[in-house]
């Protein structure tokens, strides 16, 4: 039963209108369907726990939902095993490995929900995870996404909280804050978040240049902010995370380290449109590539070459983003100038 309230007022017509609006608002909120998207690649060690936790959380939210298991050409039988255990899960299988971003994008196009819940296969959500992500969209139509809090699987210590950044001397420097209550955030965690499906598709989803993974979630979060949307971090939406389990198993620690360095630079090349900030980035790049340990030199040199090799695609993508931009880079960074501690 939907409950309302009457304001003490002699103008009966106004009272009736106010009460009707309240009922319609609640009905609209409850009618939002959610689509849970879980990309999987050889996640047999933890996938069943992830899916079981998600189904429990989704049922507990009281919302209409579907769960899409997007298998990225796994070879360990993980997807088939889960499909037998949970027959209501929609299994969609890639014929070849396409990477995290492409697989999530495919899931977003297949989904039928108003909201997308994006969850890594090595995350086990707590009971109210989904409801705490979704409740913010009921209140604010300008929210693009809501990010949850993840804690280490074994130690239960936080491993992803409210992440923001500053731009300094041509580099992006990440900051963090472990807020006790929901708060604005710059970056969503792609493996533990909810986004509006229509906005996600308008931006064309995760950018394939980040393949196979890392920073594509920060990238789309930043694009949304420049389009005038807002993002929220909610520490009440908690999940336990193994932490890079699938990626390290698939690529090894050295390659994962390279992807992080490369895609950090790619983020700046794709997104920074302020002319002075652009100049600072490109002027600082040669020194950045030459500095650091031998291992860092290798990763940074390869990253710089990746930018040069993909320069035409980067320029084309930048033009598309500029057409959607409402806020400048300085305006976005200014929103978070006093938030967080440097990592």
Q: What is the pTM of this model?
A: 0.89
At residue 155, the pLDDT reads 80
136: its two tokens: 């913010």
At residue 22, the pLDDT reads 38
Q: What is the pLDDT of residues 260-313, one digit of tens each?
A: 999 999 999 999 999 999 999 999 999 988 887 777 899 999 999 999 999 999
Measured distance between the N- and C-terminal CA atoms of the chain, rounded to whole angstroms = 48
Q: Are 266 and 168 in contact (CB under 8 A)?
A: no
Cα separation of 21 and 231, whole Å?
A: 27
Q: Are 112 and 31 in contact (CB under 8 A)?
A: no
At residue 253, the pLDDT reads 87
Q: What is the pLDDT of residues 217-252, one digit of tens each?
A: 999 999 999 999 999 999 999 999 875 556 777 788
At residue 119, the pLDDT reads 97
| Locus of tokens 């971003």 | 101
Spatial neighbors of 11 by CB under 8 A, at least 6 apart, are none
Below-50 pLDDT ranges, the chain? 1-29
Structural domains in the chain, CATH included, are 33-343 (3.90.550.10)
At residue 67, the pLDDT reads 98
At residue 243, the pLDDT reads 59
If we measure between CA atoms, which residue out of 332, 335, 211 comes closest to residue 273?
Answer: 332
Cβ count near 65 (within 10 Å): 20
293: its two tokens: 């340990």
Cα separation of 254 and 261, whole Å?
A: 11
């Amino acid at each position: 039963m939907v409950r309302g309230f009457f304001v003490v007022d002699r103008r009966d017509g106004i009272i009736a209108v106010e009460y009707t609006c309240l009922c319609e608002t609640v009905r609209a909120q409850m009618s939002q369907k959610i689509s849970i998207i879980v990309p999987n690649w050889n996640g047999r060690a933890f996938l069943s726990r992830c899916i079981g936790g998600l189904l429990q959380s989704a049922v507990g939210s009281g919302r209409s939902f579907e769960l899409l298991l997007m298998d990225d050409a796994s070879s360990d039988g993980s997807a088939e095993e889960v499909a037998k255990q949970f027959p209501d899960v929609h299994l969609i299988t890639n014929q070849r490995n396409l990477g995290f971003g492409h697989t999530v994008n495919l899931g977003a196009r297949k989904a039928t929900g108003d909201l997308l819940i994006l969850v890594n296969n090595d995350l086990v959500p707590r009971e109210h995870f989904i409801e705490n992500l979704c409740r913010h969209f009921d209140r604010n139509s300008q929210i693009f996404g809501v990010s949850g809090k993840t804690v280490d699987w074994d130690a239960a210590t936080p491993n992803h909280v409210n992440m923001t950044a500053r731009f300094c001397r041509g580099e992006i420097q990440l900051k963090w804050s472990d807020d006790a209550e929901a708060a604005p955030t710059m970056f969503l965690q792609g493996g533990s978040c909810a986004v509006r499906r229509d906005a996600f598709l308008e931006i064309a989803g995760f950018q394939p240049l980040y393949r196979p993974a890392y920073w594509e979630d920060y990238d789309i979060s930043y694009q949304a902010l420049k389009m005038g949307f807002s993002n929220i971090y909610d520490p009440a939406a908690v999940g336990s995370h193994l932490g890079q389990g699938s990626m390290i198993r698939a690529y090894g620690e050295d390659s994962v380290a390279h992807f992080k360095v490369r895609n950090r630079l790619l983020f700046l090349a794709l997104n920074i449109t302020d002319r002075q900030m652009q100049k600072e980035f490109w002027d600082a790049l040669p020194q950045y590539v030459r500095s650091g340990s031998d291992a860092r030199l290798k990763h940074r040199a390869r990253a710089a070459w990746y930018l040069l090799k993909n320069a035409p695609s980067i320029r084309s993508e930048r033009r598309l983003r500029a057409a959607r931009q409402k806020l400048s880079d300085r305006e976005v960074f200014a929103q978070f100038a006093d938030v967080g501690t440097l990592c």
